[in-house]
Structures are given as C-alpha cells and as structure tokens.
Chains A and B, each alone.
Chain A
Amino acid sequence: MSRLAPVFKELKRAGRSALVTYITAGDPDGSVSVPLMHALTKAGADVLELGVPFSDPTADGPVIQQACERALAAGTTLGKVLAMVKEFRRADSHTPLVLMGYLNPMEAFGIEAFAGAAADAGVDGVITVDMPPEEAEPLAGLLKAQGVDPVFLLAPTTSGARLDRICEIASGFVYYVALKGVTGAASLDVQDVQQRLQVIRRATHLPVGVGFGVRDAQSAAKLAQFADAVVVGSAIVKRIGEHQSAPRELLTQVSGFVHGLRQAMDAARA
C-alpha cells in the first residue's frame, strides 16, 4: 500500500508541512541518484519525487529540460528508474516516493506492466504530467489496483467543475501548480496561493501540496504555514547541474540547500 496517506497523517499530527524534493532520475548519471535520494531524506525531505526523463518535457523549464537531457544521455530509461527505486528501498522502507513523468515512456513500458513494476519497486504515487483526468483511464485505475496513488495536478486555470472531478479521482495528495507556467518559472504569489488552497480544501480532504516556482527557503517557509506539502524541484536540480562533474560536492551542496529549506519550513510552523 502507498506510504503517502500514513506519512501525511503523521506529519499533520506533528504539525509539520511536508518537504517534497524533486530530482530527475539518472541526472547527471545513474550512479548518483540513489546516494542523492538518501542524502535528501537525511537533509530533511519527507517525500521524494523522482522525475522520469523524457525527450520532450513540455511542462518543464530549462533547468529540468537540461536534467532530462543529461539523464537520457546517460542512458536512463523507465526500467532503470524503477531499479533505482528498488535499490533505494533496500535502505529506506519509510519515505514515500512519487514518480513524475510524461505518459509516453510509461506507455512504451506497457501501462499494465508499469503499474505492477512500480508497486513492486516500492513506488507510492505517480504523477503523469500530460495525462489530465479526461484521459486518465486505464492508467489511473491500474495504478490504484496495485496500491499506487495516481497523483493529479491542479492549476490556477482549473475551473470549479474540473476541480471537483480531479479531486474525485485523485489519491495520495493533490498537487497545486502555483503559477501559470513551466517548472522553475518566476516566483509565485503566496497570497494568491493561500486563497486558492482554501477553495481546493473545500473540494477534497486529501493533503494539498504546492509546487512550481518555489525557489528558496523563504518562499518554502511562507507556503509551509498553510500547505500540507511544499515541492521544490528546479532549485535543487539547478544545483545538481552546477556540480554535475563533482559528485561529492554535488551531494554536499544539495544537502545543505535542502537542510536550509527544512529549517525554514519548521521555523515557520513553530
């Protein structure tokens, strides 16, 4: 069964907002990813989001596009990403892990096989960026049947009727995309996000995460005051890109940054 619901419950009881960190699997190469995942949890990540690289990431800004290019150049495939998850699980059976990717590589793997292999590897949720609820079957159903949560995005452009529909089929948590734009774009408007979250909470009891445009500890801290989870991606991936040729320095820099996020978020709730 998915670890998402119990971990979110635990965090809620403790009065904390979850820190969700995104990295692209296999960036800069396959040997770094699993140590990096452990470093992220050690630095304070509550949930790991692992990007499945795709050749045409239309919802991503330049930082994650380049991460995808690096990961693909290093030969990363969905099969290898699942192998990384399996390896990670040998030393960590607690931290929820969510895959985020585009539909085509999942279909190329075979969606039935993918749902089974994801569950088997220890994946808790799957965000398929370019699969809105209108097109979510059969993948969403297959994932659910395996105990994996299909996680859906909500956006500033999501109408009221769509909101209800998405919340109906979503599980694990819902992910509010805080700005009109791609990952890593300009900063979000915290007040606006807070108002939108109130509307979303009326539509669902699921935890609500906020992401896209969370660049630093300050904005993470502000969001942590009212969001169940704060997702940080491009700001981490940017540091991975900067230190791609020095794995040890990469781990230190990313850990330091994530630790800073954690502290700021906890302080904001204290």
Chain B
Amino acid sequence: MSQPLEKLGAFTESLRHLPDTDGHFGPYGGRFVAETLMGPVEELRAAYARCCHDMDFQRQLRRDLRDFVGRPSPLYFAECLSTQLKGARIYLKREDLNHTGAHKINNALGQALLAKRMGKTRLIAETGAGQHGVATATVAARFGFECVVYMGSEDIQRQAVNVYRMRLLGATVIPVTSGSRTLKDALNEAMRDWVAHVDDTFYVIGTVAGPHPYPMMVRDFHACIGEEARGQILAAEGRLPDSLIACVGGGSNAIGLFHAFLDDDVKLYGVEAGGAGLHTGKHAASLTAGRPGVLHGNRTYLLEDEAGQIRETHSVSAGLDYPGVGPEHAWLKEIGRVNYDTVTDEEALQAFHRLTRTEGIMPALESSHALAYAIKLAPAMPHHHLIIVNLSGRGDKDIQTVASREGITL
C-alpha cells in the first residue's frame, strides 16, 4: 500500500486506450521476437483486429461464454468472512465457477475461436499449474483442434491430476526439461514449436504476456470479468466498489478485473507471490522486487540476476511461479495506478483454509493470495467500504499441495 491513492485525480486521460499500434504500454510491451516470428505475430494482430469488429465473431464468443463457460460468473457477498473481519464488505467474483474451474477458459475460448477464423488446425499452449493447459485442451476438444501442451517436468510432477485431465481431453502433454523446468521454460518451448509450425499452428498464450498483440488480446478476452463485476456491484450496492484485489502471476485475471475500473475512483491492488518471503529470495514478485528487462517477447518487470539471466522463482502456487509479468501491469505500476504488494506462501495457505471453513468455498492457491490480502486490508476499513476480490479459480487442483505441506499423504 505504498502509493497515495489521491494520485488518481492526476490521470486526465483515459487509461483504457493502450497499447499503441506497436503494442507499447508506455515504455513496456512491444514485440521482442526473432524475425521468423514477426510475420506470424503481425498476421495474428491483423486477424484479431478484424475479429474485434466482426459481429459474427463477437456473437459466437458471447454465446459460448454464456453456454459453454457459464458466464456471467456470480458476484458473491462473503457475509461470514466480512462479519468475522469486522470491517469492509467483501465480495468475491466467482471465476472458480467457470467451466474448468478458473478464469483461464475466457481467454482460451477467445483464442480458439480466433484460431478457427484464421484456418489453423493445431493449438499449442504452455502451462504451469495446468489450468491454462486444461482450458486449452478443453476448447481444442470442443472445436476439433489437435492440441499440444508444454509443461515443465517439475510442474508435471506437482500437478499430476491436471496432466491426466489434459490427456483425457485428447491433448498431448510434452514435458520440458530445459532450464528451470517450470512455466518460463514451457513458454520458451511453445515459442520454439510455434516458430517451426507457423503455417498450421496457433499459439494460445495463457496470460497477458508475450509479444503484441497477446497482452492486449488476452486482456480483452478477460475484460468481461470486470465488466460484469461493475454491473453486479452497482445492482447489489448501488455504487462502485472502493477496492479491487486480484492475484498477479502473469496478470491476466487481475487485468481482467481491473480494466473496466481503470478510469474510476477505485483502488486497485495486485498481489504477487511472496513465496518464503522477499528477504529469502524465494518468491515470484517481479513487480515488487524485479526490474525492467526483456523476456518472452515484451519489455516488462523481471526477476533476473545482475548479468541479465532470468532467475528461478518460487511460489506454493504453480500458477504464480513466473519471473515476468504482463507489460500493462509494469506500466500501471510505473504510473502508480495499481498498488502491487506481496503475500507469502504461509499467508496464502491460511487464507485457503479460512475461506474453505467460513464460506464453504475452496479457493485456488493463486486466488488465496488475493484473499489473504483482503483479510489483511478489510479490518482497517470502515463498514461501508466495498472490496471485490477476484476468486480466479477453485482449489481442487491444489488439494495435493495443501495436504503434503501438512505432512499428509492422500
């Protein structure tokens, strides 16, 4: 909570019109890829631009979001939790109730429809926790694409259930054994696959990272989260919320919630994975503890060593275990519009248990970071303070992790 929120009045222009035509959010974003990928990236940009104005495309997207994904997702008043905390009124945006159990499907669906328009026959994706892999495998099954998912060999071990889910859906899961064997390496490998199969393959990136147009496009596909939440809170409370809280890995669920509120007098909090604590170096807090650099096609905040090599990260939640972050977040940090802070593994786990016991909702460990922050913030706020927390996913996938942290074998 380092930024004075009075600063908000200083933004005279809308913050919702970026990026520029080359994909820049201030100094961040852009297209930092090898020449071989510039053609495909440009083809994608043009195809996406056409779909934005294509009524047929938009209609099909809306229909599938409703009937296949289950949108709109509810905005749930967490009454028991709010009462316990004796402060702000906490609402949960229930992305955990989406088909496949997380916000990831909003984006996977949008990109799959676009891939179809572009005549591609093969989807590839990277995944960390497996949620984006499952979402991509799901839309591939639904639309009849061949599907290949790259996943770090470390993560394959941590997320065995999701690996099997992907296989059941007909996807091929390829273990990545290079580098740190986690999400960033899976992303590297997916980019290598794409460059070798550009003619028939569409790369479905799972967060607001990558070269332009990905950060913009993925944001747009998730913007429904905030647009719905805006209408829902107005209906429930007759006014806008005071604060929004979301976890930030690559930043897709956070920007999805924030975007509709960027120009409003609403405080925004992005919560990064503090891991074992920032002082230990074992964390994944690129915005809080990193510095600007270039990775995976864009300029953004990175966790890197002095020589510019990307560092290994740590988080109890595989979905936040990434050394970069979407470039729009880098820019929102720089202009002071969003407050970025961290929550440790331990705090996230406590929040996981607390929500499970008080509301009967088992949150994903990623989302538990946002909840933990809300739990810290709420008691200091007056009773009329309205908080919306993005409950980006459900916690079923994390049961194994939670159990093993507590020394229980299932």
Contact = CB atoms under 8 A, between A and B. Distances in A.
A153 B294 contact: no
B32 A132 contact: yes
A59 B34 contact: yes
Given A58-B296, A103-B294, A109-B308, A135 B32 contact: yes
Contact of A104 (B184, B199, B294): B294
B196 A181 contact: yes
A69 B179 contact: yes
Contacts of B30: 134-135
B35 A185 contact: no
A105 B178 contact: no
A61 B192 contact: yes
B39 A159 contact: yes
Interface residues of B, number: 37
Interface in A178-212: 180-182, 185
Contacts of A166: 35
Interface string A92-114: 00000000001111111100000
B295 interface: yes
Contact of B310 (A55, A129, A134, A158): A55
Interface string A59-82: 111100110010010000111000
A157 B38 contact: yes
Contacts of A131: 32
A152 interface: yes
Q: Which residue of A65, A135, A154 has the most chain B CB atoms within 10 A of its CB atom?
A: A135
Contacts of A79: 307
B230 interface: no
B198 interface: yes
Contact of B39 (A129, A158, A181): A158
A156 interface: yes
B40 A157 contact: yes
B375 interface: no
Contacts of B184: 56
A1 interface: no
Q: Which residue of B22, B178, B197, B309 has the most chain A CB atoms within 10 A of its CB atom?
A: B309
A154 B35 contact: yes
B179 A56 contact: yes
B307 A129 contact: no
Contact of A72 (B35, B196, B198, B309): B309
A22 to B, nearest CB: 15
Contact of A152 (B35, B185, B196, B307): B35
Contacts of A60: 192
B295 A155 contact: no
Nearest to A60: B192
A209 to B, nearest CB: 13
Given A56-B179, A185-B196, A153 B35 contact: yes
Interface size band for A: 35 or more
A179 B323 CA distance: 30
Contacts of B179: 55-56, 65, 69
Contacts of A20: none
B33 interface: yes
A130 B295 CA distance: 9
A12 interface: no
Contact of B293 (A62, A65, A104, A185): A104
Contact of A134 (B31, B185, B308): B31
A132 B191 contact: no
Nearest to A132: B38
A177 interface: yes
B74 interface: no
Contacts of A132: 31-35, 38
B38 A108 contact: no
A173 interface: no
Contacts of B310: 55-56, 104
Contacts of A226: none
Contacts of B195: 59, 180-182
Q: Which residue of A61, A108, A109, A156 has the most chain B CB atoms within 10 A of its CB atom?
A: A108
Interface in B278-296: 293-296
Interface of B: 22, 30-40, 42, 178-179, 184-185, 188, 191-192, 195-199, 293-297, 302, 304, 306-310
8 contacts: A58-B192, A72-B309, A104-B304, A106-B308, A108-B307, A131-B32, A134-B30, A157-B36
Interface of A: 54-62, 65-66, 69, 72, 77-79, 102-109, 129-132, 134-135, 152-159, 162, 166, 177, 180-182, 185
